[in-house]
Structure formats: structure tokens, C-alpha cells
Amino acid sequence: MHALLNFKQGVTDPSGFLSSWSAEVDCCDWKGVICSNITSRVTGISLPCSTTLPIYSDGEDKSHCLTGSIHLSLLLVELEFLDYLDFTNNDFSALQFDYLHNHNCHNLSIPTSSRHCVNSSILSYLDLSLNWNLVISSLQWLPYISTLEYLNLCTVDLSEETNWLPLVTKLSSLSVLNMCDSKLKDLSLSLQYANFTALQVLDLSGNEFKSELPKWLFNLSSTVYVLDLSYNSLIGHLPKDLLNLRELEELAMEDNNLDGPIPDWLGEFEQLKTLILGVNMFSGSIPTNLGNLSTLITLDVASNPLTGVVSERNLAKLSKLKLLYIYSENYKSFDSALIFDFDSHWIPPFQLEELVLGFSNPNLPSWLYTQRSIKSLTILQSSFEAPHKFWDFLSTVVEVRLEDNLIDGDMSSVLLNSTFIDLSSNGLKGCLPNLSPNVVIVSLSNNSLSGELSPLLCGHNVSKGKNKLLFLDISLNNISRGLTNCWKNWKSLVAIHLGSNNLSGKIPKSLGFLSNLTSLHLHENKLHGEIPLSLQNCRSLLVFNVRNNHLSGNIPDWISHTVMALQLRSNYFGGKISPKICQMSSLIILDIAQNAISGYIPNCLGNIKTLLFNNASWNKFSVLFPSVRHRSFFNSDNLELVTKGQVLEYDSNLHFMTLIDMSSNNLSGTIPPQLFSLIGLSSLNLSNNKLAGKIPNEIGNMKNLESLDFSTNQLSGESPQSLSSLSFLGYLNLSFNNLTGKIPLGTQLQGFSAFSYMGNRDLCGPPVTKMCFQNDTHKETELVDEDGTQSEFLSWFYIGIESGFVTGFLGISCAIFLNKKLRYAYFKFLYDLRDRLYVMVIVNMNPFR
């Protein structure tokens, strides 16, 4: 109990998970503590953190998980019967192990009960995986827990430990070793043998190995049945020495740089159940010997530069096959992929659950229709005809992915019934298909579909109140007419993408029924009128994008305060910017450019909380929905933004962008200094307005600014010296204003071209050509007396100097031109000077030629 309470003091428990850990209660009754039924001694601690994946997030929310430091040596010394430790999926950042050199461990005169030796531990199970922030710089403590049988350090940062393999091999009882995504770099190529006498599972996937497969790998114990080296940068061929691991049941080498042909000797593994070779550089044909692997359940050779013919011989004896991934990645067009040459009457000996295909045949393989257990079907980069029989077959499949194909088929009479449907980029034609109430996610983007939205949303198949649709994407098509008014039948919708069509009319009020809506994209259509007030009911809205339409009225200030991206650019919005917009405390993108907005820039914009700090990367625009086989459908919101003088598209990196763009409006007044308290802002564009006054000196606070455009306004005065402190500035445009004085000195400011400053007649200094005369002002000041009148003495003094210069110049000129000898001598001196200068220039230029 004392040891456990000390451990509790070293961790932070934001959710009170350890609230039951109290001296007033028997520690065997504490949450997460496991005790022996016979001795009542503590034998295990199980404190995994369960997390849920929100729809919009950078990742799992771990704010309720345990944090702090794991005092491992304290637990192992005090809890002598501890056999099991599970701290999975928490947020620990450090691990302490303080008893490595305890002199008591080696003092035999001290009774065993008093030695406090870690190597007396009987711990057999240790799981620290999925603690993303946990960094372990050394594994020197591992050999002191010699009884370990199960060790899982996946996602723990081990990048500083270069001697990991020799230390791990000292665990003679180890049977399961998981060190995936641990930033390991060294595979110990010089090592011939690794003393893993009991090892059964080795997972080193997702690390940073950039070498060939090491020799010690082929000399592992024959008891190894799982070997996973996926997601590294391994090179070379698969060596035949892998056959030494005769009991291998799972071989995963996905996503490396392995090359050469797929070896035919792989067909000799009699126990192999999983063979994953996808996303490599394997070339040639698929060996027919793989068809002899009668125990095989998963076969993945997808996304390799494979060629040749695939027939029933490649799959002949795979009676247990459930997952098949087979397509080539070396083709630029649809006529050079793998060729499927299956007998039209062939019936496979397997019933697949998941199938991924890519082929060049004009027709689908006939055996596809014999598969009645498929839950997931993917066809990529293929060209084929899709008859009604095919669409009827798809209605029985839970997850359908047909992407980047050329499909000859009309969708008008098709009923989509799958839970997950992605039919993007296939060249599909006809009107929109019908949706059954079972559909949760559907993407029909980037096709040639036409017609109206009404058949899809208001047709007779629509079930009122029973629809499950969460995600709808019909962008990049030719859909016309209005947005319809049937949205109340689709209240479960979370994301709507209807951009880049020919939609017209007004935004319907019924969109206000979608209280769960987080993302609404209606950009690049022909919508007009005002944004309906009913959208204020969409309290979960995070992204609102209506750019490039014909919308009018005032900027909506009633939109949800949780909105993160508001893009209204290129419309006909007018009026003034309401101070209520400052209450959108989550805003990181405000784009109202190219409208007719007038008035002043509100001072309160400097209060937008998310832009006050440089933490925008925590705000991710991604939609995550559960899919089959424990996967998730991931979709990133994307926006086209004008920054750094060009139009850039942001999708998966959108959450890193922070922007305010009010350009090309009728804004007037001065730039409020409060605006420059937004130190998290990376792009600010106020160009093409009627802003006047000086650029506030507070602009130097915006240390993260990368793009700044104040061009084509009426700004005056000198550029503030604080501009030179914007060290990340990659784009600057101050052109066509009334700025004066010297351009502030600074590496960034002098690095821009003169175009950044053109149109400011009185600006001087690099990079513009006009020179600054710093002493001019000082000289003029000296000519003025204390009462402000010019000094009479100094005036006559300068007049005398000018008169003397003129008189002397005329005297010398007359002497030269009236005296012949003097004139010849003078011109001879000039010619000699010219020749000397010419020779000097030539001599000094030779080294550079």
C-alpha cells in the first residue's frame, strides 16, 4: 500500500481514476490493482486509459489520462510479487529507474529480504505502449528484469538508445517484443546472432531502418511465428535465408523499398497465414507458387510495379483466403496494369471478406460475383464497364471504394445501399443515384454527374427521420438548379461538400435543421441572396465556406462561436464588420476578401483567443468515421486561400494555417494596434482598401507572421522599425501607399524585391533605388535659430562658398582653353588616366573569368 501511494503521488490524475487509492481501503480493492486470491499480495497493476476519437481532432483526447512519471524501480522493489504492469494509452512523459547500481544488490552479507534488488523481480508482462509523449533515453535497466516474457514499447520514443538490441537480447525469457513506431534507427547489421531463444513475436514496424535485412534476423529461433518490419525504409531483395524461420505464420514487409522479384520460394512456408508485401518496389510477375499456400488467410502484393498476367493458377489452392490485395503501381495509364486472365467459369475455393483490385481488362473478373461474404471492395485505377449486375452486387457490400477509375456506367437508376461509399474520380455520368437509409458516408466527387439534388435528397426512397447519412460529398460535378428544401430529412449530417457545381438560387432555411453539422462547403456555385438566419441553429459548425458565389447582405455575425474557418470571399457582402464577429473565439481563418464591406476594422479583433497564441496546430480539420475492420474513414477539409501573393490549397495542413484576409473591400480608417496582439497569425492581408494613417509600431509583436500585404491603401508616415523583427516573414507587399522615409534595416526587409515597396514615392534605402541622405535633416536644422528663423550668418556663409566655387571654376577653365600648352597637358593627363583605369580593370577581372 505504501509503495502504491508513493506511485500515486508521482503522477497527475486529472479524471480521478485513482480516487479509490486510499489508505482507508484495502489496496486489493483499489481500481486497477490485481491481487492473488491465495496470498492477497499485489501481483498486477492494470491502468490503461480508454479514449474516444472525436470527429474533429488532432487525435485521441487524452486530457483525462494519467500523466507524469512512471517510477518503475519503486514498484518493482517494493512489490516483490508484481508480475503484470499495463500503462497502455496514457500520457506519461518519463520513466524512472533508480536502483541500477544499488550496492545492496551485491552485498551478500545483507539478508535477501533487505537488499531491495530490482533483479529479484518476477515481472513477466510490461506494456507502456501508446504513451506518445514518453521518451526513454536508455534501456540499461531492461536486463535487471530478466523474467520479462512480454514487452510492448510501441510509440515510446527510443531514438536516443542506439544499443537497444544487445540489451533486449539479455531477456532470455522474452517471447513477445513489440517496439513499433519507436524511432529506432540501428538494426545492428554487424551482429550475426541475437540470443532470442524463446522469441515468438517480433514487431519492429514503423521505425527508421534504412538498410538491408540483418543476418541475425535469419538466425532467430524457429519458434518465431510473427515477423513485422512494415513501414520502414528497408532496401534490397528478400533473402532466401528467411526460410530458416520455418514456423512463420505472419510475414509483414509492407511499405518499404524492397525490390527485385517476389520470390517463388515463399510458397514453401507451410504454416504461413499472412503475407504482406504491399507498397514496395517488387517487379515482375506474381509467382504461381504463392497459390500453393493453402493456409494463407491474407495476401497483399498491392502497390508494387508488377507486370504480367494473373490467373486462377495464382490463387488455385488458397481455400482459406479472406483478404486479397492485388494491383500494380507502375502504370501511368489504364492500359499497362496487371492483366487478369481468369477462366469465366472458374469458381474460387475461397470466400473473401476484403478485396482490393487493379487491372486493365475492360470487364470485371466473373468470379467476383461468386463472393457473397465480401464486406469491403476496393477497385483502383482500372477501366471497366459497370452493368446493373455490378451495382446490384455492390448493394450487398458494406464498404465500397471505387477511386480513380474509368467506369462506363449511368448512375441515374442506381440505388446505393452500402454503409460506406467512395465513388470519387471515376468519370461517372447521368443523374445522381438514389440513397438507401443504410448509407452513412457517400462521396461522388469529381465525376461528370448532372441534374438536380432533389432525386437524391427528396426522392421516394428517402426515409424521413431514419436516415443515417453523416458525410455527403458531391463536389466537382455538374449538378444544377437549387439546393432543395428537404434537408430536414437528413438531420444526422455532419459534413456537406457541394462546391464546384452549377447550383443556383438561395441557401434554403431547412439547412438550419442540421444541428450536428460541422462542415458546410458551398463554394464556386451561383447562389444568391442572404445567408438565412436559421443557420444559427447549426451550433456545431466549424467550417463555413461559400466563396465565389453571388451572395449579398451583411456578414453573418450570428454564426456559431465555435466556428474555426469562415470563408466568404468573392461575393457581394456589404455593410460594416460587426464587433460580434470578435466573439468567434475559435476562429483561425477569417476570409472576407473581395466584397463590398465598408467601415472600420473593429478593435476587438485582437481578442480572438485562438490567434493570441501560437497553438493553431492543435486545431485539426479532419473527419473521422468508423469503418470496417477497426479502421476509420478519414477526410480532411480543404480550403483555397490567398497567401504569399498566390492561391494555395490547404487540406491536411489546413490546421497549421492562421489567416485574416480583408482585402479588396471599402474599409477605411486606421489599422487598429490591437490587431497586432494576434501573435499566432501567419497571414494578414488588408490590401486594396482605403486605410489611412501610420502602420502601428505594435506590428513587431506578430513574430509568427509569414505573409503581410498592406498594398494599395492610403497609409502614410515612416515604416516602423519593428517590422525588421518579423523573422519568419516570407512575403511582404507595402506597395502603392504614401509611406515615407528610410526602409527599416533588417535581413528580411532588404531581402524583398523593390516591387514590395513600389508606388511609395518618398521611400528610400535598399532595396529601392532612391538613396537616403541621413544628414540632410541635420543640416537644415542647423540653419534654423532657436526662435525658428534661419540664421543670417549661416546664409551669407553658404552664399560666399558658392560664389568662390563659381569664380575658381571659371578661372581654371579660361586658363586651360586660352593656354595651348596647358590645354595639351590637361588632355594628355585625362587620356593617361583613362588607360591606367582600363588596364587596372582588366587585370583585376582576369581571376573571375
DSSP assignment of 154-197 equals TT-B-TT-S-HHHHHTT-TT--EEE-TTS------TT------S
pLDDT score for 785: 46
Q: Is residue 309 part of a domain?
A: no
Same domain, 133 and 110: yes
Assigned C-alpha cell, 398 = 458494406
In 506-611, at which residue ranges do the beta strands (DSSP E only) sit?
A: 519-521, 526-529, 543-545, 550-554, 565-567, 572-574, 589-591, 598-599
390 plus 530 within the same structural domain: yes
Q: Supply 34's cell numbers.
A: 490485481
Average pLDDT, the chain: 86
Give me the number of domains the chain comprises.
Answer: 5
DSSP secondary structure string for all residues of 558-582: -S-TT--EEE--SSEEESB--GGGG
Q: Count how many residues are written for the chain.
A: 849
Query: What is the predicted pLDDT for the residue at 775?
Result: 53
pLDDT band at 827 (very low <50, low <70, confident <90, very high): low
Choosing from 184, 209, 237, the residue where a domain stops is: 184
Q: Give the range among 105-114, 233-242, 741-750 with minimum mean pLDDT.
A: 105-114
- Is 251 inside any structural domain? no
Distance set, CA 57 to CA 621, 637, 822 (Å): 7, 12, 90
**Is residue 522, in this structure, part of any structural domain at all?**
yes
Indicate if 630 and 759 belong to the same structural domain.
yes
How far apart CA 486 and CA 508 sit, in angstroms, is: 9
Residues forming a β-bridge with 633? 625
- Whether residues 781 and 636 share a domain: the answer is no
Average pLDDT over residues 646-661: 89
* Domain membership flag for residue 465: yes
- pLDDT of 444 over the 50 cut: yes
* Residue 537 resides in a domain: yes
- The C-alpha angle with vertex 257 and arms to 169 and 179, in degrees rounded to 5, equals 30
What integer pLDDT is reported at residue 583 of this predicted model? Answer: 87
- Indicate whether 525 and 662 sit together in one domain: no
Confidence band of 610 (pLDDT split at 50, 70, 90)? confident
Chain-centroid distance of CA 508 in Å reads: 34
| Region of poorest pLDDT, from 146-155, 191-200, 339-348, 617-626 | 617-626
Which residue among 153, 184, 215 closes a domain?
A: 184
Q: Is the peptide bond before 767 cis (omega within 30 degrees of 0)?
A: yes
- Ramachandran angles phi, psi of 834, nearest 5°: -65, -45
What is the C-alpha separation between 299 and 314, in angstroms, rounded? Answer: 11
Distance set, CA 408 to CA 348, 364, 387 (Å): 27, 12, 8
Q: Model pTM? A: 0.81
| Assigned domain for 369 exists | no
CA distance 656 to 536: 27
661 and 782 assigned to the same domain: no
| Residue 219 confidence (pLDDT) | 87
688 & 610 share domain: yes
Check: CB of residue 394 under 8 Å from CB of residue 418: yes
Q: Is the pLDDT of residue 100 over 50?
A: no
pLDDT score at 91: 94
Give 117's pLDDT tier (boundaries 50, 70, 90).
low
How does residue 221 score in pLDDT terms, banded at 50, 70 and 90?
Answer: confident
Report the pLDDT value the prediction gives residue 109, as an integer from 0 to 100: 40
pLDDT at position 443 over 60: yes
Question: What is the per-residue pLDDT for 562?
Answer: 84
Residue 28 has pLDDT above 80, yes or no: yes
500-515: pLDDT as tens digits: 999 999 999 999 999 9
Buried b (16+ CB within 10 A) or exposed e, 705-730: bbbbbbbbbebeeebbebbbbbeebb
What are residue 659's DSSP bridge partners?
Answer: 589, 683
| pLDDT of 805 above 90 | no
Q: Tell me what the mean pLDDT of segment 152-161 comes to.
A: 96
- pLDDT higher at 661 or 830: 661
Whether 27 and 140 map to the same domain: the answer is yes
Question: In whole angstroms, how large is the CA radius of gyration of the chain?
Answer: 37
H or E stretch including 840? helix 820-845
pLDDT tier at 521, thresholds 50, 70, 90:
very high
Under 8 Å CB-to-CB from 611, ≥6 apart: which residues?
587, 588, 658, 660, 678, 679, 680, 681
pLDDT confidence band for 629 (50 / 70 / 90): low
> Which residue would you say has higher pLDDT here, 748 or 536?
536
What range does the domain containing 840 cover?
Answer: 819-849
Residues 6+ apart with CB under 8 A from 745: 724, 765
Which residue type sits at 227? L
* CA-CA-CA-CA torsion sign (193, 196, 199, 205): negative
- Is residue 162 within 8 Å of residue 185, measured between CB atoms? yes
Residue 533 has pLDDT above 70, yes or no: yes
Q: What are the tens digits of pLDDT across the range 54-87? A: 554 445 678 899 999 999 988 888 898 999 999 9
- Looking at the predicted structure, is the pLDDT value of residue 166 above 50? yes
846 has pLDDT over 60: no
Asked if 238 and 268 count as a contact pair (C-beta separation under 8 A), the reply is no
Unique residue bearing C-alpha cell 524492397? 258
> What confidence tier does 379 reach under pLDDT thresholds 50, 70, 90?
very high
- Statement to judge: residues 824 and 788 lie in one domain: no
Taking 70 as the threshold, does the pLDDT of residue 605 lie above it? yes
Backbone CA torsion sign across 343, 344, 347, 349: positive
Which domain-ending residue is among 184, 202, 217? Answer: 184
Q: Is the pLDDT score of 208 beyond 50? A: yes
CA 729 to the chain's CA centroid? 22
DSSP symbols for 30-54: STTEEE-TTT--EEEEE-PPP----
Half-sphere exposure of 740 (CA within 13 A, CB side): 4
- Return the pLDDT at 651: 84
Q: What is the mean pLDDT of residues 728-750?
A: 91
Same domain (yes/no): 525, 643? no
CB 683 within 8 A of CB 657: yes
Specify if 640 maps to a domain.
yes
Q: Residue 364: pLDDT above 50?
A: yes
111 pLDDT band, cuts 50/70/90, is very low
Q: What percent of the chain has pLDDT over 90?
A: 65
Read off φ and ψ for residue 456, nearest 5 degrees: -75, -45
**Residues 764, 833 within the same domain:** no
pLDDT for 61: 74
What's residue 825's pLDDT? 61
Q: Are 281 and 304 in contact (CB under 8 A)?
A: yes
User: Which of 63, 39, 83, 60 lies closest to 130 in space, CA to CA?
Assistant: 60
Per DSSP, the chain holds a count of helices (H) and strands (E) of: 10, 55
Separation CA 40–CA 36 (nearest Å):
5
Pairing of β 33-35 and β 42-46: antiparallel
Please give the C-alpha separations between residue 708 and each of 56, 599, 644, 675, 832, in angstroms, as whole numbers. 30, 21, 8, 13, 54
Percent of the chain at pLDDT exceeding 70: 83
Confidence of residue 786 (pLDDT cuts 50, 70, 90): very low
SS3 542: coil
Higher-pLDDT residue of 96, 125: 125
Q: What is the pLDDT of residues 230-288, one digit of tens each?
A: 999 999 999 999 999 999 999 999 999 999 999 999 999 999 999 999 999 999 999 99
Asked if residue 125 and residue 61 are part of one domain, the reply reads yes
Quick check: helix, strand or coil at residue 798? helix
| Contact present, 535 and 511 (Cβ < 8 Å) | yes
The whole-number pLDDT of residue 222 equals 81
Specify the pLDDT at position 346: 94
- For residue 521, which phi and psi values (nearest 5 degrees)? -115, 110
Mean per-residue pLDDT, 812-831: 59
Nine cell digits for residue 348: 474460387
Task: Determine the average pLDDT of the residues in 788-805.
Answer: 50
Q: Evaluate if residue 589 carries a pLDDT over 50.
A: yes
Q: What is the pLDDT of residues 405-432, one digit of tens each?
A: 999 888 988 999 999 999 999 999 999 9
| Burial readout 91-123 (b: 16 or more C-beta within 10 A, e: otherwise) | bbeebebebeebeebeeeeeeeeebbbbebbeb
Whether pLDDT at 113 is above 50: no
Whether 60 contacts 52, CB under 8 Å: yes
Digit-coded pLDDT (tens) for 671-713: 999 999 999 999 999 999 999 999 999 999 999 999 999 999 9
The answer to the question of residue 620 being in a domain is yes
Asked which of 105-114, 445-454, 524-533 is least confident by mean pLDDT, the reply is: 105-114
Q: How far apart (Å, rounded) are the C-alpha atoms in residues 338 and 359? A: 5
Whole-number Å distance between alpha carbons of 470 and 25 = 47
Q: What is the CATH number of the domain that holds 35?
A: 3.80.10.10
Nearest CA to 686 among 591, 825, 777?
A: 591
